[in-house]
Amino acid sequence: MPSLKDLRNRIASVKSTQKITKAMQMVAVAKLRRAQAAAEAARPYAERIETVLTNLAGGAVDGAQGPKLLTGTGAQQTHLLLVCTGERGLCGAFNTSIVRLAREKANALIAQGKTIKIICVGKKGYDQLRRTFEKQIIDLVDLRAVRTLGYANAQPIAKKVLDLFEAGEFDVCTLFYARFKSVIAQIPTAQQLIPPEFEKSDENAPTYDYEPEEGEILAQLLPSAVAVRIYRALLENMASFYGSQMSAMDNATRNAGEMIKKLTQRYNRTRQAMITKELIEIISGAEAL
Amino acid sequence: MASFHFELVSPDKLLFNGEAEDVLVPGTEGDFVVLRDHAPVMTSLRPGIVDIGEAQGKHTRLFVRGGFADVSAAGLILLAETAIPVDELSAERLGGEIKDAEEDLADATEDQKRLAQEKLDRLKELKDALKI
C-alpha cells in the first residue's frame, strides 16, 4: 500500500507528463497546419511536371530508345530502397509502419535472390532498419537540422540517387513514405521512382515543337521529376508525422487524465480511511476511560 | 487584346494562376513572347526574367532559374525551379545564385560544362542589366 506521500508524488509526476504531452499536441497541431499548407503548395508543380512528363514520355517511348532514366536499365537485379521516415519519435506508429513496409519489401526481394541497397532519410528509420539490414544501408540523410523543408532539401537526395544510378549501382529505385490522407489516417506507401511509372493517358498528346531537342529536354526533365517526387514524399511525410504525433499526444494526454483521476480517487480514499481510523482510535480510547 | 490561361509554378508554390495577354519567356534557345493561340511548344528555360502582361497594361516581372515552359492549347504553364518577383530580388540573392552556378560549373563533367558556363554567364549578365 503506497503511502499518501507516494501517491501525491505520483499524481504530481503524471500531471507534469500530461502538461508536456498536451503542449506537444498543440505544437503538432500548429506544425501540421503549416506542413499541410506546404504540401498543398507543392501539389500544382508536381502535378504539372507529371503531365508534362507523361506527354513527353508517350512520344519518346514509341520512338527511338528513350533515356535509361525513363525506360530503366532493362535489368531488375539490384534494388535501391529510399526509406523516408521522421527524425523524431513520440509519434505513434508513424515510423514503425513505414519501416515495416520497407522491411517486407526488402525481405521479399531478398527471397527472390535480388540485391538490395538502402538509403535512409531520417534517423528513426535508420535506427530501426540497422538491426536487420546493417550491411545493406549505404547512406543516411539527416534532416534533423532542417527547420522548414524546402525544395533545396530534396535536391541533394535526388542527386545522390541519380549519381548512383549513373554509376550503375542499382536498376530499380523505390521510395517509401507515409501518404497523408487525413489527420487520423496516414498510409505507408511504396512508389517506384526509377524507372517512373505513369498512368497511361488515352488522349493524344498535342504535337509539340521542342526547343532544344526532345531528348535534351527529357534529359533535363527526368532528374527534376525525381527531385520533385522526393520533395513531395518528404512534404507528405512531414504532414503525416505531425498528424500522427498529434493523435498520439492526444491519446497520451487523455490517458494521463484517466490515470490522474484514478490516482486521485485512491489518494482520497486512503486519506479518508486514515481519518476514520484515527477517529475510531480516539473514540475507543475515550470510551475506555 | 485576347487573353489566355497562364500558370507559373515553382516547387514551393503557385505564383501566378490566371489570364495573361502576353508573356515573355526566357527559353534556352532564345526569349520568346507567348500570345493567345500560340503553337504548342515545349522548351527548357535559361535564367532570366519572365514578363507577364495582364489586362490594362499591368506588367509583372519575375526572375526564374531552371525549369520548363509548356505551351499547349490549354495555355502556358511555366515550371520554374526557382522563381522570385523582381521587386524581392536583391544583390545578395542573385549573388547566391551566381555562387551556386559557379559551384555547379566546378562539379560539372566535360559535356555539362558548356551548359553550366552559359548559365553562369547569363546570371552575371542579368546582374549587370538589373543594376543591383
Residue A74 backbone dihedrals phi, psi, to 5 degrees:
95, -20
Q: Can you name the CATH fold of A22-248?
A: Pyruvate Kinase; Chain: A, domain 1 (3.40.1380)
SS3 B14: strand
- Interchain CB contact of B129 with A (< 8 Å): no
Domain count, chain B: 2
Cα(A69)–Cα(B33) distance, integer angstroms: 32
In chain A, residues with a C-beta closer than 8 Å to the C-beta of B76 are none
Q: Do B110 and B58 share a domain, yes or no?
A: no
pLDDT score of A37 more than 70: yes
Whether B12 sits inside 8 A of A212 (CB atoms) is no
User: To the nearest whole angstrom, how far is the Cα of A45 from the nearest Cα of chain B?
Assistant: 5
pLDDT bin (cut points 50, 70, 90) of residue A63 is: very low
pLDDT recorded at residue A205: 57
pLDDT tens digit sequence for A205-240: 567 777 777 777 878 888 888 888 899 899 999 999
Q: Do B79 and B42 share a domain, yes or no?
A: yes
Q: Do B52 and B66 share a domain, yes or no?
A: yes
Q: Do B14 and B39 share a domain, yes or no?
A: yes
pLDDT recorded at residue A203: 55
pLDDT recorded at residue A212: 78
In chain B, residues with a C-beta closer than 8 Å to the C-beta of A211 are 27-29, 41-44
Q: Do B121 and B77 share a domain, yes or no?
A: no
Q: Do B44 and B19 share a domain, yes or no?
A: yes
What is the value of pTM for the model shown? 0.83
Q: Do B34 and B73 share a domain, yes or no?
A: yes
Whether B66 sits inside 8 A of A224 (CB atoms) is yes
Question: For the range B119-124, what are the long-range contacts, defined as Cβ-Cβ under 8 Å and sequence gap of 24 or more?
Answer: B119/B46, B119/B47, B122/B46, B122/B47, B122/B48, B123/B47, B123/B65, B123/B94, B123/B97, B123/B98, B124/B98
For residue A211, what are the β-bridge partners? B43
Q: How many CB pairs under 8 A join A and B?
A: 80
How is chain A split into domains, by residue range?
Answer: 22-248
Whether B41 sits inside 8 A of A211 (CB atoms) is yes
Q: Do B81 and B100 share a domain, yes or no?
A: no
Q: Which residue of A has its CA nearest to B68?
A: A221
Q: Do B42 and B11 share a domain, yes or no?
A: yes
CATH number at residue B59: 2.60.15.10
pLDDT recorded at residue A66: 63
Q: Do B54 and B107 share a domain, yes or no?
A: no
Q: Do B28 and B61 share a domain, yes or no?
A: yes
Average the pLDDT over each of A119-128, A232-241, A273-282, B83-92 and give the range with the smallest value.
Answer: B83-92
Is A120 considered catalytic here?
no
Q: Which domain holds residue B79?
A: 4-86
pLDDT score of A65 more than 70: no
